[in-house]
Amino acid sequence: MRRQFLSILLIALLGFVAGGCATNPITGRSQAMMVSDAQAAQQSALAYNQVLAEAQKSRALDDDPAETARVQAIAKPLIEQAIKMRPETRSWHWDVHVLRSNEVNAWCMAGGKIAVYTGLLQKVRPTDDELAQVMGHEIAHALLSHQAEKMSRQMMQKLGVNLGVLAAGMAGYNVGSMAGLADQVATIGLQLPNSRDAEAEADSVGIEMAAKAGFNPNAAVTLWEKIMQVGGSGGPDWLSTHPNPQSRIEAMRAKAKQLMPVYEANKRP
């Protein structure tokens, strides 16, 4: 009886996972998609509006008009290329702001909500080409549905752990103290590798997008060399959510060489 119950649970879980897979239109990779892009964008819009409201209240939103104009001018051709890569994103409510923060960071939420932190601009001091690489990378995350995928994997992880604990309990095992460990192991085994894959994908798509928008792909190499100087080389590769910095630079250098003809054909005046 227990064995039959466990089999039913396993079949149900596998069916649930298989039913939530989709093929990414840009990379062709199969992704866990229990959460749709539209759902992720809806949640992102709520979070984004809250971030902007808090920044506005503390006078940390677009407080340097020249800086904001620069960031938005660089974002414009990148967004145009993003729409060419994925035409349905034309309906996204794209938005770009600069937030005053010491953190070296930038992001693009699902649905095209973009923010660049002044810490990135002031500490890294990127050229326009280098800033385009940062923003292209972040826009690529949204284009590749990485936020929806991460939310989906978290849902599947939680479901899998709960079903595993339930099944083990039905089989007569005492697993009360094992749930937390199981969740931690699942995070290391499922979430972190996916994050590294997502970063590598965003690097590749982002640098291509920037080259098509007329920004020098070699700037991706100089950008990450600057970031390494500012933030250090990071932790061990196997437990990082980002690729090893030196490996990342080498991959960027090779990709930039391939994309130079694309850049030359679209070079900005």
* List of residues 6+ apart from 92 with CB closer than 8 A: 41, 111, 112
CB atoms within 10 A of CB 267: 11
Q: Which two tokens stand for residue 52?
A: 């902007």
Q: Cβ neighbours of residue 110 under 8 Å, at least 6 residues apart?
A: 37, 40, 41, 43, 44, 142, 145, 147, 148
Per-residue pLDDT tens digits for 24-38: 777 777 777 677 778
The pLDDT, as a whole number, for residue 9 is: 47
Reading phi first (left if > 0) and then psi (alpha if -120 to 50, else beta), residue 234 is in left
What is the reported pLDDT for 51?
93
- The dihedrals phi and psi of 178, each to the nearest 5 degrees, come to -95, -15
For the chain, the average pLDDT equals 80
Backbone angles phi, psi at 183, to 5 degrees: -65, -40
Residue 4 scores a pLDDT above 90: no
CA distance 35 to 49: 21
The angle at the Cα of 127, spanning 124 to 128, to the nearest 5 degrees, equals: 125
Q: What pTM did the predictor assign?
A: 0.77
Q: Are 68 and 99 in contact (CB under 8 A)?
A: no
Mean pLDDT of 65-83: 98
Q: Which residues are catalytic?
A: 138
- Which carries the bigger pLDDT value, residue 31 or residue 16? 31
Q: Which of 10-14, 90-94, 222-226, 231-235 shows the lowest per-residue confidence on average (mean pLDDT)?
A: 10-14
Percent of the chain with pLDDT over 90: 51
Interval 32-58 mean pLDDT: 86
Report CA dihedral (147, 149, 150, 155) to the nearest 10 degrees. 130
Tell me the pLDDT tens digit for each residue of 124-141: 999 999 999 999 999 999
Query: Could you write out the three-class secondary structure of 115-135?
Result: EEEHHHHHHHCCCHHHHHHHH
Q: What is the pLDDT of residue 41?
A: 84
pLDDT, tens only, 157-193: 665 545 554 555 555 555 455 455 445 544 444 445 5
